[in-house]
Structure 1
Amino acid sequence: MSAPSRRADPIAPTQTPKVHTLSNGVRVVCDPIPGLQTVALSVVAGQGARAEDAVRSGWSHLLEHMVFKGAGGRSAREIVEAIEAQGGNINAATGYERTSFQVRALAGGLDLGCAVIADLVQRPTMDEADLAKEKQVVGQEIAEAADAPDDLVFELAQTAAFEGQPLGRPILGTPQSIGTTTPTTLSAWRASLYGPKTLVVSAAGAVDEDELLRLAERDFGHGADDGAALAAPEPAIFTGGQRPVAKKLEQANLVLLLPAVGVKDDGYFALRLLAEILGGGMASRLFQEAREKRGLAYAIDAYSETYADTGVLGVFAGCAAGDAAELARVAAGEIMGMLQPVGEAELSRAKAQLKGAMFMGREGALARAEQAAGQVLLFGRTLDPAEVAAEVDAVTPGDLVTLTERILAHRRAAMAVLGPKTALKAAPAFEAALFG
């Protein structure tokens, strides 16, 4: 990300949290929020499903499940009871590029939360009988996702966008790939995935920096990397393609993806604004043209999904099957329309909406802790909100045109259509409207 060119006046600069590094490489971030009576702790590993090959597909997600079955001498029930007895809750999530363990607790709950997450990450039990049961649970989760049209259509589009690559495989894996795991192989995967140099311990809310550093040193400061080092992921290649699936549904579901830029690219904030103008709200171009003017869809929006080195610009819509092809052509037309400079009022509104979404989203303690950890993993530091606002405000109409040209220059799209057979014409209609 480039240096900000000017500061957004409404966003006052704040004291940026310091990043501390323990002797074994674990990084620690403390973000006190005055007036809060609760604390959020997020321990984030900078590895996830993107680190997997085809054989290990889904192992990171299965591992995240398994550590909760027992760790550090506590059973699965004792883990959650210990946290809940102090008024807190515990959760975890696996993504393509990171895995996160989170505790929300009342002020004073940081000690226990830190100890419990350290046990999950470093000392899980890995019982064979528990693993067999958890494979069944994840298998049900995979089946549930396949039965949900609005989940399946996104998975189909992701597969088309990055076919044959980690980003193109579902985070959940397949019953076959997770079925090969054993306690031994999953333990080895844990050692590689959650090594100290990949970890960030981040806390926000009612937290004292000295206390957090003491607890982080106590619970995370003594382990060393004891697993095989994971190779850096190969650069992602947007392959594109069509994934039409005929299914008896009441309406068609469409996901249309184009190759875009990653978080570290200078065009990142232009991408966010491009998606906002296209389909970020009720005043957006797609909503007004496709729904309000033409009545082609009840739900339609545009979004960006970004990773360290790549990203996508996406459109999602639900519509009547007979309207799907026309809706796809309308979406293509609105994207092509971004080759012309936007007006100052439209760009100003998009900037206000984007900053509002970003800053409202970070007003919760857990969101703050997670965001800080993600920034440290990507940039090695945390970003001041005023700096982020300045980056947004610096985007010009010309930047949006340039980014749109970059996106369309690839002449590739990934299209997933799920619904009645009539709707499947939407994918070739979108591609033809964009590229001829």
Structure 2
Amino acid sequence: MYQIEKFKNGLTVVLEPIPYVKSISLGIFVGSGSGNEPTNLNGISHFIEHMNFKGTKTRSAREIAEVLDSVGGKLNAYTSKEHTSYYATVLDEHFDTALALMSDIFFNSLYRESDIETEKRVVLEEIKMYEDSPDEIIHDLYVRNIWPDFNLGQPVIGRKEVVSSLTRQDVVDYLDEHYFPGNIIISVAGKFKKDQILEKIREVFSRLNNKKKIHKESKLPTFKSGVNLINKETEQIHLCFGSRGVSYHDERRYPLLVLSSIIGGSMSSVLFQEIREKRGLVYSIFSYPQYFKNSGLFTIYAGTGLKNARDVLAIIIEKIENLKKDFPVNMLITAKEQLKGNLILGLESTSNKMSWNGKNYFYYEKVLNVKEISRIINKIEVDDLLKLLDYIVNPQYYALTAIGNFKEDIFKGIINDK
């Protein structure tokens, strides 16, 4: 059972002892992502994540990398559109080592000018690598085209011209604005005694001073439908097609997971069976929902040859629109069991449990009970999914972004005339 503690300085700690394991996972979640960034600083949250591994007052970048390696542990971090996470997993006897390391990079990172210039080159190479992976960047471009005028549409990795111009003062100012206790959640899951761990965390993180100013949340974005084609030499056409979705706080988020599973979430899904198994038009096709604090998207990805791309999109639209009048009721039970199984099995590791608890508190200010979620999933009926289909499968909100060697708009008339 988890326990939530709030320190006087505003920092939140979520603890969940799991006595039968040998590992312990520690995560620090900061409410800083590309959705919080002004346009002229797009990518700075991700850049700061990189910089926090470049050296502290007592450790070089190499020593930071070696600390947990030497005790068989793992250290990593990621940045999303709405938060940044630093996390580690070690054997329980090495928790003090992990805590000391993570607090060191949190409090004592130097952000040297020379390191900033070096890391800018690293991130610019990362952006180039990303741009050379059309099956990856297509998802980012799709979101950008739907929300072109909103921070939530900005790429997490940033844009070349912005990253190139970042300064040490930009980094220090942004840290001051976002890295304060009221904007930080610490999550711990694994083998430990609550009181001992809590005291160790308090001893380290109570020195942080809270701030009255709170950073601005991303604004509620307005959905922009339509077709966006990016001309690029590729072997395949990579496309993302979709519509509006729901937010983390919308009660339809679980029905949407079930619906996505039926549409394109597994090998037995409608689109996989029809477009790959029956027609052989794709290797990869899948659907997924994206949830944010105040908005969301539903997306279908497919990779196919130029001569098949128009047919693939037409079949996708035909199949999802047909669900309104001919819903595969027999797939509902399978989809619900799949979702529950993935949820429960996914929380068996201390790392995933720590992440679940931390992100839950970030979005809901509580940790959602897995048994209660399972009960909610069990109650989902066909009517719930049909209502959701009416919301999602609406030509007014159809959006398509595709990358490939286009000589013309091969999709003309499929979406444009709806």
Q: Say if 1:191 and 1:227, in contact at 8 Å, map to a contact too.
A: no
Residue in structure 2 matching 1:156, options 135, 141, 144? 141
Measured against aligned partners, the alpha-carbon deviations of 1:218-237 in whole angstroms (never above 9, x if no partner) come to: 11122113595311221122
The aligned counterpart of 2:371 is 386
Q: How far did 1:424 drift?
A: 4.7
* Residue 116 (structure 1) aligned with residue 117 (structure 2): no
Q: How far did 1:410 drift?
A: 7.1
The aligned counterpart of 2:396 is 411
Residue in structure 1 matching 2:60, options 75, 96, 105? 75
Q: Which amino acid aligns with 2:378?
A: D
Measured against aligned partners, the alpha-carbon deviations of 1:344-364 in whole angstroms (never above 9, x if no partner) come to: 421111101111222222212
Q: Say if 1:161 and 1:257, in contact at 8 Å, map to a contact too.
A: no
* Residue 431 (structure 1) aligned with residue 415 (structure 2): yes
Aligned in 2, Cα 1:338/1:212: closer, same or farther, shift over 3 Å? farther
The aligned counterpart of 1:4 is none
Measured against aligned partners, the alpha-carbon deviations of 1:237-259 in whole angstroms (never above 9, x if no partner) come to: 22133221222322211111211
Aligned in 2, Cα 1:429/1:75: closer, same or farther, shift over 3 Å? farther
* Residue 137 (structure 1) aligned with residue 98 (structure 2): no
Aligned in 2, Cα 1:353/1:429: closer, same or farther, shift over 3 Å? farther
* Residue 335 (structure 1) aligned with residue 335 (structure 2): no
Aligned in 2, Cα 1:20/1:429: closer, same or farther, shift over 3 Å? farther
- TM-score normalized by structure 2? 0.95
Q: Distance in 1 between matches of 2:212 and 2:336?
A: 44
The aligned counterpart of 2:71 is 86
Q: Say if 2:151 and 2:219, in contact at 8 Å, map to a contact too.
A: no
> Is the partner of 1:304 in helix, strand or coil?
strand
Q: How far did 1:124 drift?
A: 1.6
Q: Distance in 1 between matches of 2:331 and 2:39?
A: 44
Q: Which moved more, 1:389-398 or 1:125-134?
A: 389-398
Q: Say if 2:10 and 2:210, in contact at 8 Å, map to a contact too.
A: no
Q: How far did 1:59 drift?
A: 0.4
The aligned counterpart of 1:263 is 248
Q: How far did 1:297 drift?
A: 1.5
> Is the partner of 2:201 in helix, strand or coil?
helix
The aligned counterpart of 2:131 is 146
Q: Say if 1:341 and 1:401, in contact at 8 Å, map to a contact too.
A: no
Measured against aligned partners, the alpha-carbon deviations of 1:23-64 in whole angstroms (never above 9, x if no partner) come to: 111111112223322111111112211110110100000010
Residue in structure 1 matching 2:267, options 282, 298, 304? 282
* Residue 37 (structure 1) aligned with residue 30 (structure 2): no
Q: Which moved more, 1:101-110 or 1:135-144?
A: 101-110
The aligned counterpart of 1:303 is 288
* Residue 361 (structure 1) aligned with residue 309 (structure 2): no
Q: Distance in 2 between matches of 1:298 and 1:82?
A: 41
Q: Say if 1:22 and 1:217, in contact at 8 Å, map to a contact too.
A: yes
State percent identity of aligned pairs: 27
> Is the partner of 1:68 in helix, strand or coil?
coil
Q: Which moved more, 1:98-107 or 1:177-186?
A: 177-186
Q: Say if 1:43 and 1:199, in contact at 8 Å, map to a contact too.
A: yes
The aligned counterpart of 2:185 is 200
Aligned in 2, Cα 1:409/1:295: closer, same or farther, shift over 3 Å? closer
Q: Say if 2:19 and 2:192, in contact at 8 Å, map to a contact too.
A: no
Aligned in 2, Cα 1:422/1:318: closer, same or farther, shift over 3 Å? farther
Q: Say if 1:195 and 1:227, in contact at 8 Å, map to a contact too.
A: no
Q: Which amino acid aligns with 2:399?
A: A
Q: Which amino acid aligns with 1:291?
A: R
Q: Which moved more, 1:341-350 or 1:51-60?
A: 341-350
Q: Which moved more, 1:215-224 or 1:175-184?
A: 175-184
Q: How far did 1:402 drift?
A: 1.1
Q: How far did 1:110 drift?
A: 1.5
Q: Distance in 1 between matches of 2:213 and 2:111?
A: 19
Q: Which moved more, 1:220-229 or 1:285-294?
A: 220-229
Q: Say if 1:40 and 1:204, in contact at 8 Å, map to a contact too.
A: yes
The aligned counterpart of 1:7 is none
Residue in structure 2 matching 1:63, options 28, 35, 48? 48
Q: Distance in 2 between matches of 1:107 and 1:256?
A: 45
Displaced runs of 4 or more, over 4 A: none
Q: Which moved more, 1:23-32 or 1:93-102?
A: 23-32
Measured against aligned partners, the alpha-carbon deviations of 1:109-129 in whole angstroms (never above 9, x if no partner) come to: 221212222222233211000
The aligned counterpart of 2:336 is 351
Gaps of 5+ in 2: none
> Is the partner of 2:402 in helix, strand or coil?
strand
Q: How far did 1:341 drift?
A: 6.6
Q: Distance in 2 between matches of 1:390 and 1:274?
A: 17
* Residue 223 (structure 1) aligned with residue 208 (structure 2): yes
Q: Say if 2:55 and 2:64, in contact at 8 Å, map to a contact too.
A: yes
Q: Which amino acid aligns with 2:130?
A: A
Q: Distance in 1 between matches of 2:93 and 2:409?
A: 56
